[in-house]
Structure 1
């Protein structure tokens, strides 16, 4: 793949190089255990379309994928879009440089991006980064993250009039999430920019269904139009940073925006002039709660018949599930009486929310301000698309948030609904409820053959001469039952995975003749009150990943092949906190690892991991490959481990 991309960029006339180095990832929190670190050999593709003026716009994505899927969307679609945008740009080159940065090791902890911005001289020439990503296989493309002081870039984006869903709400939310892309690294280095992704079809993410058949050419075109249009727009002189805006998309390519400083005054004025009333608040809260609980209960009930729901919170036919939520919310809005008073009851919560959001999350304040200003019309423009995006972004597992938005919109429209004769309202409510029920049933009916992914790993304890079958699933699948049996033990395994809090199914496995990881101490020297230990670590069986754990923590500094990170930089390494490092793309000769540790003996556990199961064990068919939703290393794999003291 790398050779192909280099060939394509070279044929367009760009100066192309491959940055071959070691990338170092800072700690990443996981839902199941300790913060873990990453390092590994990366090969970034860096290409330059030379301009005549100083400064560069970087088009960035990553070209690696998780091992469990082809990666056609994540990130094949963005890479293809960038290639085509650059091809068009070569026909009429911009005045400023255009850099194409296709990183390696993104899925392993942003390793390639960290290496590029830390080491590559062209990184210091970048004025703006445009990063393109995917978290599914459907649109629309969202502009979901900005750098600080993004007003000039938002103005440029709005000026292109390109169809993109952009919102300062996304940025406010994303800053508070653990998720990250290569764009996070450019932000750490103070480079202005915008981050784009399509997120629909989460069930196809990081798994075997992320193949070329599930690529939407409209999404591909949208990424490409954005890359091309923004490079053209940013070729004009002007500031790259300067203040922040509240902004949101309305319609196809139209954006409303105003300074963040105006958010609180606008919210206060709107709240004071909306004439909020306390009457009906209790009934409104009860209706909203009922809608949220109903939608959540529906999706969790449907999830009982959908194995993919447990793993990722999504469905193969999530559009039908969303349709069911919309239909049932509509039925709730049509039923009941006092429609005229119900519309007035929404003013108080919207007024309070507008002021609170403007003070605490100004980028999200428009969600309450504009429905207050515009009534049902303003609510429809803002809340209707928000409900769909919440359903996609938070997955159907949190369908209650989407239902609350729909219910609130229905409450605003209640006075209009109340003008309909009661008989017509009841008939429409029955039709909506029936439609919702039919869509819900159709969403989980057996259809075409779908993947039934399951995890199974083989673990050899080379010290003890024992072995286990392991699975992170809730129960054995049909093909994993041959190894796990019908009733495997479920428990944590700190002896093998220190600090991991998740329970794993496990059962005894045959002891195979696998070479164990090799660890050799090559040097040791005192460093103040500590010591620096140099180790050579390699996998004789050619595993692509290795895991090094120090269960008692206390690692103050670590380096891989001379690339060092301190505990303070990595935000880990305190005594008693499990220190866990994953090494990726392990070369044949292995890595040289340096650890700054205490002068007393330090316990270590070293494991190597190869993709796939031993040939003598059970094997999944193409539909049984486990997706890497939770942690990339929990696919079907073979582990061998040793313990030692240094």
Structure 2
């Protein structure tokens, strides 16, 4: 093997290593060995959390477990010398971006510091968990952070009031946040810091702001030393079906900053979300940022301002510029590179090369994931996602090398470079129409390249541009790797093309001297080796386990009962649980396909009941008021068809409208002990009685589930939903 081929192979490995090393750009700061007075102490905060969570059992809202957590939380607050206020309310809230309303009894815990009058800063976190896990990350870390911040701020002279809200019911549909909106204290608030988590590790990113975002972002930039935030993420988040307490608060127009950690989502909403898994560095990062921002907003009123583009560089510096300036700069760069590329010639071939590399890389990665999914059904990348990321990156490198070797062989280095940056900028224009905040990532690298061209230092400008691209887009790639733990993984292939292409262009002479066939062959071997590693890597591990939820469901109308297992479509072992004939199918009352098998019913099982109290027509609307009888269910859900035309639902004082742009079925849910005897109403445009499905959910499984629980795979646990027993009945209202 000649020296040129060895050098080219080394280049390929270096590019793959550089793409893997983007994870270094999203490391949270180290924990301080000793905290000075007035500094956030992560070790002390985590100890407070351990005291609050106690036995680390799940503690959903309005459960005995949450009563115990709340009592320990109040004891911690009083131990700080502060006086908590407990607001006890039965409330309902819209389930955002869905046709749903959810109700529960919630007890918010409120603490106020600073002056007794004036506009206030609200610091918010929720102390309830899902029924699945202890919630150390979601949102125990937020609760512990607020306690530690309160212990520091209580000793400082604050110019404005600071209200600490430890709310209950976030996991049921932001009910505690909605209840706080009726609290007189909420009328004093003008700014908000919300703390959340979608994992147990990684940097704490600021992922959502109020609009326009200028006041919030500038306050954040002034306060925080290690910022992780960008306007692409905030724009992207608004388009997701996710929501936090901020959605309930947003109608007030408060200046808002929303923070969360997202590392290792496999533990999120599962028994794995425990204190042992909580990265102390992430606690430190959340605490340092929260304390700094709280000090900033508690002592300086937020200034007015328009919208800005912003992005951090490796968590060290936040770049902020007015969005109009950023959009104008993007336009100037497009014009500048268009002029340069036309003068140099080969522009259409160069742009075609750029598009071909993007399309081919995406198609290859998608096809490889599809084939691997056929061979290894389920989330085969879950335990060791790094191998799948490397294989997908290798698809991008292969596509870039093939495009340069086949399409770009007649183009000069400078023609390729100017065409690449023009294509990159045109991609930025497309991003502008989807997520305008993402324009920030299409400015600095091409600007460095253009400055190099104008100063006749093109090679220096090109290297500077490639490094800036790795620092900025590389960080986005790493953060997306954490966010998109469940896929689609193939989207990382075009990102690899964008990051690797400038370096490959600079190595054009080496590619030409290596030869087209050897260069393509070497990159193909790299790609196939990556997928071989994916095929060999275990799918699940003790840290990153398989989602595996067992449910027993009984149709009370037909008397038929079923086992239903959700496990990311991975195959079940032969005769799992002593049952033959498992099949992938849907049940009419459960969304999505799962493994299903018939089973015996449960003797004496009772479904929840609905007692109609009123049926009143007002014009074209009909309001039905009813009382719930849970009969032992922990949660009761009324499901109407997509033709139910329900316009609102809830309880007195908290009748909430259904999301006007949502589609699908209608849901009215009540969770917790207080649902037994609760009075709820809904208003519909349908004049006649309608049929509803009534689902009662009881946490835990019947005794006959013992073989299924015992034979659950070694590295598998419930996630998002708890093992549960369901009844499904039919009522008319």
Match of 2:709 in 1: 620
* 1:399 aligned onto 2:489: yes
How many residues align structurally?
Answer: 624
* 1:70 aligned onto 2:70: no
Q: Is the 8 A contact 2:623 2:681 kept in 1?
A: yes
1:52 is displaced (CA, Å) by: 6.1
Can you list the C-alpha shifts for 1:74-109, whole angstroms capped at 9, x where unaligned? 112222222222222223242222211122221211
Q: Is the 8 A contact 2:230 2:312 kept in 1?
A: yes
- Where in structure 2 are the equivalents of 1:136-535 lying within 5 Å? 136-274=199-337, 275-276=340-341, 277-300=347-370, 309=379, 315-326=382-393, 329-330=396-397, 337=405, 338=409, 340=413, 341-358=415-432, 361-374=435-448, 375-395=465-485, 397-418=487-508, 420=510, 422=513, 436=530, 440=534, 443-444=537-538, 451-473=545-567, 474=569, 477-478=572-573, 481-482=576-577, 485-488=580-583, 490-493=585-588, 496=589, 500=591, 505-535=596-626
What secondary structure, in the 3-state scheme, does the structure 1 residue paired with 2:705 have? coil
| CA–CA distance in structure 2, aligned partners of residues 307 and 77 of structure 1 | 34
**Are the structure 2 counterparts of residues 29 and 475 from structure 1 closer, same or farther at C-alpha, using a change threshold of 3 Å?**
farther
Q: Is the 8 A contact 1:318 1:396 kept in 2?
A: no
**Are the structure 2 counterparts of residues 106 and 297 from structure 1 closer, same or farther at C-alpha, using a change threshold of 3 Å?**
farther
| CA–CA distance in structure 1, aligned partners of residues 435 and 691 of structure 2 | 45
| CA–CA distance in structure 2, aligned partners of residues 450 and 202 of structure 1 | 9
Match of 2:15 in 1: none
**Are the structure 2 counterparts of residues 92 and 557 from structure 1 closer, same or farther at C-alpha, using a change threshold of 3 Å?**
closer
| CA–CA distance in structure 2, aligned partners of residues 212 and 303 of structure 1 | 33
Match of 1:102 in 2: 166
| CA–CA distance in structure 2, aligned partners of residues 248 and 486 of structure 1 | 53
**Are the structure 2 counterparts of residues 447 and 579 from structure 1 closer, same or farther at C-alpha, using a change threshold of 3 Å?**
closer
1:320 is displaced (CA, Å) by: 3.9
**Are the structure 2 counterparts of residues 522 and 71 from structure 1 closer, same or farther at C-alpha, using a change threshold of 3 Å?**
same
Q: Is the 8 A contact 1:153 1:241 kept in 2?
A: no
Q: Aligned match of 1:3 in 54, 71, 80?
A: 71
1:65 is displaced (CA, Å) by: 1.8
Q: Is the 8 A contact 1:471 1:506 kept in 2?
A: no
When normalised by structure 1's length, the TM-score is 0.87
Can you list the C-alpha shifts for 1:60-81, whole angstroms capped at 9, x where unaligned? 1222222122212111222222
1:324 is displaced (CA, Å) by: 4.2
**Are the structure 2 counterparts of residues 104 and 297 from structure 1 closer, same or farther at C-alpha, using a change threshold of 3 Å?**
farther
| CA–CA distance in structure 2, aligned partners of residues 554 and 437 of structure 1 | 50
Match of 1:606 in 2: 694
Q: Is the 8 A contact 2:585 2:593 kept in 1?
A: no
| CA–CA distance in structure 2, aligned partners of residues 444 and 476 of structure 1 | 15
Structure of higher RCO (CA pairs closer than 8 Å, 6+ residues apart): 2
Q: Is the 8 A contact 1:388 1:402 kept in 2?
A: no
Q: Aligned match of 1:20 in 82, 88, 104?
A: 88
| CA–CA distance in structure 1, aligned partners of residues 142 and 370 of structure 2 | 33
Can you list the C-alpha shifts for 1:182-203, whole angstroms capped at 9, x where unaligned? 1122222211111111112122
Q: Aligned match of 1:128 in 191, 197, 200?
A: 191
Q: Is the 8 A contact 1:370 1:382 kept in 2?
A: no
What secondary structure, in the 3-state scheme, does the structure 2 residue paired with 1:390 have? helix
| CA–CA distance in structure 2, aligned partners of residues 538 and 530 of structure 1 | 26
Match of 1:571 in 2: 660
Q: Is the 8 A contact 1:146 1:193 kept in 2?
A: yes
1:180 is displaced (CA, Å) by: 0.8
What secondary structure, in the 3-state scheme, does the structure 2 residue paired with 1:243 have? coil
| CA–CA distance in structure 1, aligned partners of residues 247 and 378 of structure 2 | 29
1:322 is displaced (CA, Å) by: 2.7
1:58 is displaced (CA, Å) by: 1.5
Q: Is the 8 A contact 1:302 1:444 kept in 2?
A: no
| CA–CA distance in structure 2, aligned partners of residues 467 and 327 of structure 1 | 48
When normalised by structure 2's length, the TM-score is 0.77
* 1:83 aligned onto 2:154: no
**Are the structure 2 counterparts of residues 573 and 407 from structure 1 closer, same or farther at C-alpha, using a change threshold of 3 Å?**
closer
Q: Which runs of 5+ in 1 are unaligned?
A: none
1:502 is displaced (CA, Å) by: 5.0
- CA RMSD, 1 decimal: 3.2
Match of 1:640 in 2: 727
| CA–CA distance in structure 2, aligned partners of residues 186 and 557 of structure 1 | 19
What secondary structure, in the 3-state scheme, does the structure 2 residue paired with 1:365 have? helix
Q: Greater share of helix residues, 1 or 2?
A: 2
What secondary structure, in the 3-state scheme, does the structure 2 residue paired with 1:521 have? strand
**Are the structure 2 counterparts of residues 583 and 296 from structure 1 closer, same or farther at C-alpha, using a change threshold of 3 Å?**
same
| CA–CA distance in structure 2, aligned partners of residues 587 and 198 of structure 1 | 33
| CA–CA distance in structure 2, aligned partners of residues 446 and 74 of structure 1 | 22
| CA–CA distance in structure 1, aligned partners of residues 583 and 373 of structure 2 | 24
1:16 is displaced (CA, Å) by: 1.0
| CA–CA distance in structure 1, aligned partners of residues 335 and 192 of structure 2 | 41
| CA–CA distance in structure 1, aligned partners of residues 726 and 75 of structure 2 | 36
| CA–CA distance in structure 1, aligned partners of residues 387 and 237 of structure 2 | 27
1:529 is displaced (CA, Å) by: 4.6
Can you list the C-alpha shifts for 1:365-406, whole angstroms capped at 9, x where unaligned? 122222211232332232221221222223362233322122
What secondary structure, in the 3-state scheme, does the structure 2 residue paired with 1:220 have? helix
Using the TM superposition, name which of 259-268 and 619-628 deviates more: 619-628
Q: Which runs of 5+ in 2 are unaligned?
A: 1-68, 342-346, 449-464
**Are the structure 2 counterparts of residues 301 and 49 from structure 1 closer, same or farther at C-alpha, using a change threshold of 3 Å?**
farther
